[in-house]
Amino acid sequence: MVNDGVGPMEVPNDLLAAEIRSLRERLFAATQAHDWILIRSRAKDLSALAAEVVQDGAPEGEAVSTETRQAAQQALEEAKRLAAAAESRLAALGADSEGVLEEVREQFRVWRRGTRNYGGLSILVRLSLLSSTAIVAGTTNIEGDPGNNILQSLVDWTPLFAIAAAGLTALDTWLKPRDKWRGFMEMRDRARAMMTRLTTLRDGKVEADVLGYLDQLAEMRTEHRDRNVI
């Protein structure tokens, strides 16, 4: 949890003190939002200014008041503490996201493989069904034209093609490979999008609840089983 004790501080009314106060207020707003990326950034800004004031006085080399120097010292300690907390939190998020990313990546491979398998099966079943149906439907014309010796040889196989057409129709109705293909494809794309978000989190560009991704993955698996598993 973020320490909410950071807040506006009474300092002398000069430009340097006002700048320190402004940076502390912006840092305070980041802590209220629990935005660790922003906390780290603003803490570094405040730390840089406060350290310069504490060590060298005003940026222009002018002397600063005791009150301003004390305010800068307090701001420096606050900024260092929050910067360290932010770095620690982001490191933990990165480590957690790596494990979650690997789990999502493994599930992505499964769904990608299913997409390819059902895609190929759907095309194979449809082509085989169309071919078998066309041969059975053309049997009458073939039988009526004895001159087509090559085609005439298919007549003897017509019952097998009819059985194949019936079997493929039953298979297509039961397995629904085309619907499974679409379902696996959708899950694959959603897993890929989740991998992208987790990779971005790992690289420290966004803030997110890593455990929330595990919940999303569990929901996706449940949805997948209900829709795409026989």
Residues in the chain with pLDDT < 70?
1-14, 33-37, 56-64, 90-97, 138-156, 201-212, 230
Rounded Cα–Cα distance for residues 128 and 172 (Å): 11
Is pTM beyond 0.75? Reply is no
The C-alpha atoms of residue 96 and residue 197 are separated, in whole angstroms, by 13
Give the alpha-carbon dihedral of 56, 62, 64, 69, to 10 degrees: -20
CB 93 within 8 A of CB 209: no
Percent of the chain topping pLDDT 90: 9
One-letter amino acid for residue 160 of the chain: L
Q: 134 — alpha (psi -120 to 50), left (phi > 0) or beta?
A: alpha
